[in-house]
Amino acid sequence: MVCYGLHPALTAHSCLSAGRKARFSLCKLRPALRADSGRSWTTKVACCAADESGSGTSNKFFLTTPLYYVNAAPHMGSAYTTIAADALTRYHRLRQKRVTFVTGTDEHGEKIAESARAKGMEPQQHCNGIVKSFKNLWEQLDIRYDAFIRTTEDKHQAVVNDILQRVDAQGDIYRANYEGWYCVGCEQYKDDGEMEGDHVCPLHKKPCVQRKEDNFFFRLSRYQKQIEELLENNPSFVQPASRRNEVLGWVRDGLRDFSISRAAVSWGFPMPQDSAQTVYVWFDALLGYASAILPPGVDASVQNLQQRGWPANVHLVGKDILRFHAVYWPGMLMSAGLPLPETIFAHGFLTKDGMKMGKSLGNILEPEPLVAAYGHDAVRFFFLKEVIFGQDGDFQEERFRNIVNAYLANTLGNLVNRCLGLLKKNCNSTFPADAASLDAEHPLRIATAAEVDKVAAAYEACALHEAAEGAMNVAVRANKFVDDRAPWTSFKKGSEEEKAEAGLVLLAALEAARIASVMLSPITPATSGRIAAQLGFSDDDPACSTWAGTAWGGLQKGQQVPTPKPVFARIECDFVTAPADKKAAKQAPVAA
């Protein structure tokens, strides 16, 4: 099976309006021969594409979040992943890509059955309620997904059965007895080195249970060489680099077959090979990335999947579920004969006030009250700018307010409002010239172009914090440009020539603000939309709704702007959170 990849080559800003060029190259991976089957398997993996040509696979972008477990309502970690996914897919939509953004819920397994039983509900009833809370939160956060898959759907079961039979036909499923220590929270057997003290799960801080079962197993060990070579020869396959090194360590220690069925769990799909057993929740859930893009009744063939955007360009996951995505998932796909994803990007955990979050500490950061208090753009901006994507991050309420006020209200918002106010007072709310007519060597024009290239590269690399910083750098420079030239003085006391020059100062500053808002729109869509409207653009105007709009020259002579209104109000209120006991801060962190 061969996947052709595209590597981006970002050009100078002057080429942006004509579309970025890209060079094709193949990440070479030596064909690996399966010693026990004689079948040759080859893959070529690529990083995300920056091409806008509209031809081939380079014009599509397929991204997934994990399918979130519905044992409880969504937490800030789930929200963080989904905000990041939404920002990345919005960026690629600006690039005019054929975008598929998949999210959803993982609804099977022992933990969910226990959660339902504790509430006196049937598992499906419990799942339905939690799914509603996920969808409500995504709406509150302005998440624009294309497909929401539930693993209890009939079409998903059909895909799971199809893949199980395909893998079985390759001789990669066998039956055996297994005895070991099992963590219900992780839905996973643990080795001695993966537990603490008296067989305690380090993530859930609960004792594992010793079990002996008759299960079906997947021959992951058969794909040891292929997976190891995949990781060695394709640095982009697992990101960031520290996580790739971690995965390589796991693989080099030797891959072992893993159980893909449960005899003691009734809440799940029955195994096609034996209906008395249910499909292991992770084998089930990972296949949701395929069933999400397939209509009911359409099988998971290579052709059917590729017609709908397969394989994924990026799987966004928390670092706690990296092993399933970076080791188990490639083995499953190789066995099923399906192309592999291009990149698995693992981000870190979130803490609060420097401490791990835990229910017993009373310091869980709930996303819904946070959004209700501050608005979705503030929440999106803080977490994507302040948390280095791929590392752990911390939420502190005072810092949250300070960051949002400093950047969105005082820097970008103030730039737009004060310049439009001066434009209304002195230029009849009309731009005095085309922005494109300003000198090609104009300092603000040159500085803005340089940041556009950096921001594009940051989005391509999933470096969302750098993208936010770069967009804000443009606003900071534009504010300084206005301060240094003090157009209000020229309007008040200057000659006609000086007044005309002051009008051009406003034009340049507002053009920079327009470009900054376009670059920031994947992160703060509502704020960017308000800026576009304040500058006199409609929602679908290419100057504000496509990446081509980051080219200098969007503002036109004679363009009329409406009466200025604040685009982002300062945050003055306090979001009251319960105090936490610092001495008890050894609970597992919330997975981001």
Cβ–Cβ under 8 Å, residues 109 and 265: yes
CATH entry, 376-550, from 3.40.30.10, 1.10.730.10, 3.40.250.10, 1.10.10.60? 1.10.730.10
**Residues sharing a CB contact under 8 Å with residue 20, sequence separation 6 or more, in sequence order:** 8, 9, 10, 11, 50, 51, 52, 456
Tokens (6 digits) for 186? 């992780």
Place of tokens 């310091």: 363
Phi, psi of 216 (to 5 degrees): -90, 140
CA 303 → CA 1, 97, 410, distances in Å? 12, 20, 51
What percent of the residues of the chain are helix, what percent strand, and what percent coil, each to the nearest 5?
Answer: 50, 15, 35
Q: How high is the pLDDT of residue 373?
A: 93
Listing DSSP states for 199-246 in one string gives: TB-TTT-SB-EEEEEEEEEE-GGGGHHHHHHHHHH-TTSEESHHHHHH
> H or E segment at 510?
helix 496-520
CA 10 → CA 13, 22, 44, 54, 87, distances in Å? 9, 7, 22, 17, 20
Q: How high is the pLDDT of residue 145?
A: 98
Specify the 3-state DSSP secondary structure of 322. Answer: helix
Q: How high is the pLDDT of residue 2?
A: 28
Cα 445 to Cα 526: distance, rounded to the nearest angstrom: 25
Per-residue pLDDT of the chain (592 residues; tens, 9 = 90+): 223 232 333 333 333 333 323 322 223 232 232 333 333 333 333 333 333 333 345 799 999 999 999 999 999 999 999 999 999 999 999 999 999 999 999 999 989 999 999 999 999 999 999 999 999 999 999 999 999 999 999 999 999 999 999 999 999 999 998 777 878 777 777 777 788 877 888 877 888 888 778 999 999 999 999 999 999 999 999 999 999 999 999 999 999 999 999 998 999 999 999 999 999 999 999 999 999 999 999 999 999 999 999 999 999 999 999 999 999 999 999 999 999 999 999 999 999 988 887 665 677 899 999 999 999 999 999 999 999 999 999 999 999 999 999 999 999 999 999 999 999 999 999 999 999 999 999 999 999 999 999 999 999 999 999 999 999 999 999 999 999 999 999 999 999 999 999 999 999 999 999 999 999 999 999 999 999 999 999 989 999 999 999 999 999 999 999 999 999 999 987 655 433 333 333 333 333 4
Give the class (CATH, top level) of 6-347.
alpha beta
Q: What is the pTM of this model?
A: 0.85
Tokens (6 digits) for 389? 């994507």
Q: Are strands 98-106 and 147-150 parallel, antiparallel or unpaired?
A: parallel
Q: How high is the pLDDT of residue 248?
A: 97
Q: How high is the pLDDT of residue 397?
A: 92
Q: How high is the pLDDT of residue 223?
A: 98
Cβ–Cβ under 8 Å, residues 401 and 381: no
Q: How high is the pLDDT of residue 422?
A: 98
CA 165 → CA 38, 154, 290, 332, distances in Å? 20, 17, 16, 12
**Residues sharing a CB contact under 8 Å with residue 267, sequence separation 6 or more, in sequence order:** 108, 109, 110, 112, 113, 123, 278
Nearest of 109, 316, 117, 111 to residue 204 by alpha carbon = 111
**Residues sharing a CB contact under 8 Å with residue 193, sequence separation 6 or more, in sequence order:** none
Phi, psi of 29 (to 5 degrees): -130, 125
The domain segmentation of the chain, as residue ranges, is 6-347, 376-550
Q: How high is the pLDDT of residue 196?
A: 82
Sign for the pseudo-dihedral over CA of 400, 403, 405, 409: negative
